Amino acid sequence: MYSASMSTPDRLVEATQELLWERGYVGTSPKAIQQLAGAGQGSMYHHFAGKSDLALTAILRTAAELRATAEQALGDGGTAYERISAYLSRERDVLRGCPVGRLTMDPDVMASEELRAPVDETIGWLRGRLAEIVQEGLDRGEFDRPLAPDEIAATVVATAQGGYVLARASGSSAAFDAGVAGLLTLLAPRTGPTV
């Protein structure tokens, strides 16, 4: 699974990221981490104080990766609508869900202020970034009606996260795609006279 050049701490963190996404905090045992990473118990505890320390490092890395991926889609090219559309339509493993969003459903992560903080900060960052983009679009006259940037940002995040839930429940990405298409239709500039 890992390249020979990957360091032991990186293998441990990446294994923890995968297991947190698949199994949650409780289901991510030190033994499972070590097996997936191909690392011994001594190596794990040499580099990390324990499971919570390793989980925090993994969550921070997952959060940074989500931000980088979102920023690629949101970037500075195109209209606000095109950038939001690029974010919602980007390639993703819909049936696995969002690796950060899924942590919000993990009672052990949410009960720990230390583990919850990067999850909350990342979702807050995404909402803020989307609100900035909506405001830029309003300032440039790209939308033909008044919009509340913070509300639109919350709606975009809720559509993506809710779309993951619908897709997982149905076993098909079609539900996610339908939610995205519906939101984009609502956000699209009107092309004819309004009634």
Look at residue 190 and tell me whether its pLDDT is greater than 80.
Answer: no
Residues of the chain with pLDDT > 90, as a percent, come to: 85
Look at residue 194 and tell me whether its pLDDT is greater than 60.
Answer: no
Contacts of residue 145, Cβ cutoff 8 Å, sequence gap at least 6: 190
Q: How far is CA 184 from CA 48, 102, 103, 181, in A?
A: 44, 24, 26, 5
Give the model's confidence band at 5: pLDDT under 50 very low, under 70 low, under 90 confident, else very high.
confident
pLDDT tens profile 44-76: 888 998 899 999 999 999 999 999 999 999 997
Look at residue 1 and tell me whether its pLDDT is greater than 80.
Answer: no
- Domains in the chain, start-ordered, CATH in brackets? 8-187 (1.10.357.10)
Structure tokens belonging to residue 142: 């790209």
Among 7, 97, 71, 82, CA closest to 44 = 7
Report the pLDDT value the prediction gives residue 195, as an integer from 0 to 100.
Answer: 46
The answer to whether the predicted template modeling score (pTM) of the entire model surpasses 0.85 is yes
Structure tokens belonging to residue 78: 């195109």
Among 76, 58, 60, CA closest to 121 = 60
Report the pLDDT value the prediction gives residue 155, as an integer from 0 to 100.
Answer: 98
Report the pLDDT value the prediction gives residue 43, as an integer from 0 to 100.
Answer: 84
Report the pLDDT value the prediction gives residue 94, as an integer from 0 to 100.
Answer: 95
Look at residue 192 and tell me whether its pLDDT is greater than 80.
Answer: no
pLDDT tens profile 87-139: 999 999 999 999 999 999 999 999 999 999 999 999 999 999 999 999 999 99
Rounded distance between C-alpha atoms, residue 80 and residue 87, angstroms: 11
Question: How many C-beta atoms surround the C-beta of residue 153 within 10 A?
Answer: 21
Q: Estimate to the nearest angstrom the gap between the alpha carbon of 111 and the chain centroid.
A: 20
Mean pLDDT score of the chain: 92
Report the pLDDT value the prediction gives residue 189, as an integer from 0 to 100.
Answer: 82
pLDDT tens profile 37-50: 999 888 888 899 88
Dmax of the chain from CA atoms? Answer: 70
Look at residue 193 and tell me whether its pLDDT is greater than 60.
Answer: no
Rounded distance between C-alpha atoms, residue 65 and residue 147, angstroms: 29
Structure tokens belonging to residue 100: 């950060």
Phi-psi region of 118 (alpha: psi -120 to 50; beta: other; left: phi over 0): alpha
